[in-house]
Chains A and B, each alone.
Chain A
Amino acid sequence: AQSVAQPEDQVNVAEGNPLTVKCTYSVSGNPYLFWYVQYPNRGLQFLLKYITGDNLVKGSYGFEAEFNKSQTSFHLKKPSALVSDSALYFCAVRDMNSGYSTLTFGKGTMLLVSP
């Protein structure tokens, strides 16, 4: 079975400071990894993905994520946070080696960026 852990329910950061939202995963095969963002009363928006290649993946709105196979982590980062980044962030994993594989989400981390 595959799983995702987001150990922090909430992350607080001041505008202009760097931010990190943590994610670790567990799959039996090789992972596809994703980050999504959800604004209030909206659906999830795709931010970025890791499939293969460079461990540092760049995505929308200045976000990036680093894949670390040895630590089974895929932390989301941004060098300088904006108040408008405040939202709920979800990490997700799919097993690349499974022909039919569900996309499994973490429970989400609320990011609050203060002015």
Chain B
Amino acid sequence: NAGVMQNPRHLVRRRGQEARLRCSPMKGHSHVYWYRQLPEEGLKFMVYLQKENIIDESGMPKERFSAEFPKEGPSILRIQQVVRGDSAAYFCASSAMNTEAFFGQGTRLTVV
């Protein structure tokens, strides 16, 4: 049973480009969470999704950021028109209902 798979592991984008981060949850998990980690700032919640539904997006910036978890395929975190401040490690986690979450290795986004 493969763990949570995130790709790419490293992503470099120029300012103004779009970044797409992918997350395939563990088999049998229907809950996906996205977190952002900045140096010295810990882990910040962004969005919580179930299949085809956004449950809680209270941590998502209002502009440029969006997330989806379609019926088929991975969850996608999309950042439009990236800026230098978007550079961070983005982690995805998945869980079954009310169980512990398992994390992927993260995608390290660098905006140049």
Contacts and interface: CB of A to CB of B under 8 A. Distances in A.
Contacts of A115: none
Contact residues of B: prevailing secondary structure: strand
A82 B93 CA distance: 28
Interface of A: 32, 34, 36, 42-46, 49, 90, 92, 94, 96, 100-108
A43 B105 contact: yes
Interface string B40-69: 011101001010000110100000000000
Given A102-B48, A102-B56, A46 B98 contact: no
A103 B104 CA distance: 15
A48 B55 CA distance: 25
B78 to A, nearest CB: 20
Interface of B: 4, 6, 33, 35, 41-43, 45, 48, 50, 55-56, 58, 91, 93, 95, 98, 100-106
30 contacts: A34-B100, A36-B103, A42-B106, A43-B103, A43-B106, A44-B43, A44-B91, A44-B103, A45-B103, A46-B101, A46-B103, A90-B42, A90-B43, A92-B101, A94-B98, A96-B98, A101-B98, A102-B55, A103-B33, A103-B45, A103-B48, A103-B93, A103-B95, A104-B45, A105-B35, A105-B42, A105-B43, A106-B42, A107-B42, A107-B43
Nearest to B55: A100
Contacts, number: 56
Nearest to B108: A41
A104 B42 CA distance: 11
B23 to A, nearest CB: 11
Contact of A102 (B33, B42, B104): B33
